[in-house]
Amino acid sequence: MRFDERHRFRKIQRRMAHRGETYPKLVGKGGTIFRTPTLMEAASLKRESIGAQEMTDIDARLRDMDKVKIDTQVVFPSLFLTTTAEDLRLEAALLRAYNSFLGECSAASKGRIRFAALVPIRDVDASIKELKRAAKIGAAAVMLHGMAWDKLLGDESLFPFYEEAANLNLPICVHLGWGCPAMTDIFDASTNFYSAILPVTIGFHSILTSSCLREHSQSQIRLLGSGMRLGALSYSTSENGTTGGGEKPETRSSTSKPVGFSSPAKRTRISTVSPR
């Protein structure tokens, strides 16, 4: 991270501390628990060096990739698996800084390390602008939570963003995380997994039952990290928005491989990916 970005980040940290915000929150209602930072003991026990984990040592990261025969990685965040700040300008600045850092990592790795871009989705115009910038510096996808704060992913106000992602050929990855503050606040930190996976399920249903796929047939949508058996449907859209032939969609599920959603006549694709 360049000096000017480090300076801006320190100012942001001081601003958040002054406002009394705790991020992430490790105890109590609305808690979110991450496997970060690398100062924790668990990080030191990993095979990979701290520099490789933090991507402050790109050469070490590439050597670790070579050991397990990985040609290219697409990096997703940990710290940003939750909503970041109520202040939209502050959130946008944090996400821009993250994207810039990963862009530098991508350049240093000569394209072997790519990343899922982050955007301040509450501001669609700003999100489109940042997505275009991220695509130029190494983004291979864009990550969204299962809900855009208090908004469903099938909300038509988000459709221009989906269209731009399709134009840039960037998949939209709906990842496990705490994307809805109201839902996060229901659960205690000790049961925070519920508030992380429920938005993914809601996002899955919201997208399929909206006109999103019909109106944006080039979109590519992935549902990641829920650890659940999400049903996969052979979803073919007709002009009136029902499934092809008026029949019930075929359902399938997978816990190890992506399951594609496709229409014979269109290129809309959705898949679910869950760990074994």
Query: What tens digit of pLDDT does each residue of 14-65 get?
Result: 554 444 566 677 788 888 877 777 877 888 888 899 999 999 999 999 999 9
| Residue-level pLDDT at 21 | 60
| Residue-level pLDDT at 175 | 92
Q: Taking 50 as the threshold, does the pLDDT of residue 235 lie above it? A: no
> Which residues is 172 bridged to in the sheet?
142, 221
Give the residue with greater pLDDT, 73 vs 269. Answer: 73
Domain hosting residue 155, numbered range? 3-273
Please tell me the total count of domains within the chain.
Answer: 1
Mean pLDDT for the stretch of residues 208-220: 84
| Residue-level pLDDT at 121 | 98
| Residue-level pLDDT at 40 | 78
| Residue-level pLDDT at 216 | 77
Give the residue with greater pLDDT, 263 vs 93. Answer: 93
| Residue-level pLDDT at 20 | 53
Q: Taking 90 as the threshold, does the pLDDT of residue 108 lie above it? A: yes
Distance CA 100, CA 176 (A): 23
Distances (CA, A) of 203 to 187, 206, 219, 224: 19, 5, 15, 11
Residues 236, 224 contacting (CB under 8 angstroms): no
User: Which residues in the chain belong to E strands, given as ranges?
Assistant: 73-75, 113-117, 139-144, 147-148, 151-152, 172-175, 220-224, 232-233, 251-252, 259-263, 266-273
Residues 217, 239 contacting (CB under 8 angstroms): no
Q: How confident is the model at residue 78 (pLDDT cuts 50, 70, 90)?
A: confident
Tell me the per-residue pLDDT of 116-172, one tens digit each, with 9 for 90 and over. Answer: 999 999 999 999 999 999 999 999 999 999 999 999 999 999 999 999 999 999 999
Q: Which residue has the tokens 């994207």?
A: 99
Give the residue with greater pLDDT, 134 vs 276. Answer: 134
Percent of the chain with pLDDT over 90: 52
Residue 261, domain CATH: 3.20.20
